Amino acid sequence: MPESEPSATSARFAVSDIHGHPDEFRSALQRKHLVDASGRWTGGTAQLYCLGDYFDRGTDGIAVIDLLIRLQQEAADAGGSVTALLGNHEVLALGMHRFGRQRIATAHGPRSFETSWSRNQGQASDQARLTDQHLDWLQRLPAMAKSGSDILLHSDISGYQEWGRDPHQVNAQVGVCLRSTSAETLWGLWSDLTRRRQFRGPAGSRTAKGFLAHFGGDRIVHGHSVIGEADGRPAMQNTKAESYAGGRVLAIDAGLSAGGPCLIVEL
């Protein structure tokens, strides 16, 4: 998927970590007038960025990606866009499908996608309903996007820098891993994207500054780590995105799968 540059008049929105909750996602889109009551795109030229983790925890990840695939077409027809980025749970879904119980040698001992998938509340019904179209879509998901001066991605980690100089290079490199027939290669991607909170604290602020210098942006927008979770705040108290690191980073995962709202943030 090409990176999209917004026109001056197009509203831009971001959402993350839908985790198998299609009804909540659709209702949230409707409240922002991006879809109608039947779930059809009404956002016109608006740009919607979905920052990954469509699967697991909730019961219907397949319905989430079916909705995204349809909205991508409808938004494009209307002159808008829906960009779906890769989350670690999409890597997990692919790994479970492709390698299942296969034993994988890692620095921390033997592992398998099945064990991690099970621990992360993978849904057997999602795996059973994966079609070739879903698999093709999943293994082509970009890992990052640039919109204006925002860098959008799933995980709050600096490792994206090691995959390329710009989003195009990063997405190409991640794509090679995603389509790999090596369980170890796909495991490495899963493992990297599962880390978190690397932009937090004084060192994190410096990391964010370096990251933005590397990719040429003013702000990182991420999901993956639930707002307030590290402070022990219940997700149900989340009402808005959290800006931190001196405004260089915006966290938008309000913890839908932990009782929080499905937050759609206007950028």
- Nearest approach in angstroms of CB 87 to Mn ion is 5
110: burial class by Cβ within 10 Å (0-12, 13-18, 19+)?
A: exposed
Q: Which residue number is nearest to Mn ion in terms of Cβ?
A: 224
Using the rule CB under 5 A, give the single segment among 22-30, 114-122, 131-139, 216-224 that binds Mn ion. Answer: 216-224
What does each C-alpha distance from 262 to 43, 72, 180 come to in angstroms? 18, 19, 33
Site for Mn ion in 24-83 (CB under 5 A): 53
What is the DSSP track for 21-39? -HHHHHHHHHHTTSB-TT-
Contact 254, 226 (CB under 8 A): yes
Query: Is 90 an interacting residue with respect to Mn ion (CB under 5 A)?
Result: no
Query: Is 253 an interacting residue with respect to Mn ion (CB under 5 A)?
Result: no
Binding residue count for Mn ion, defined by CB under 5 A: 4
> Which residues make Cβ contacts (< 8 Å) with residue 179, sequence separation at least 6?
139
What does each C-alpha distance from 231 to 180, 234, 260 come to in angstroms? 38, 9, 15
Of the candidate residues 21, 200, 224, 248, the single one contacting Mn ion (CB under 5 A)? 224
CB nearer to Mn ion: pick between 53 and 66: 53
CB nearer to Mn ion: pick between 80 and 200: 200
Point out which residues bind Mn ion (CB under 5 A): 53, 87-88, 224
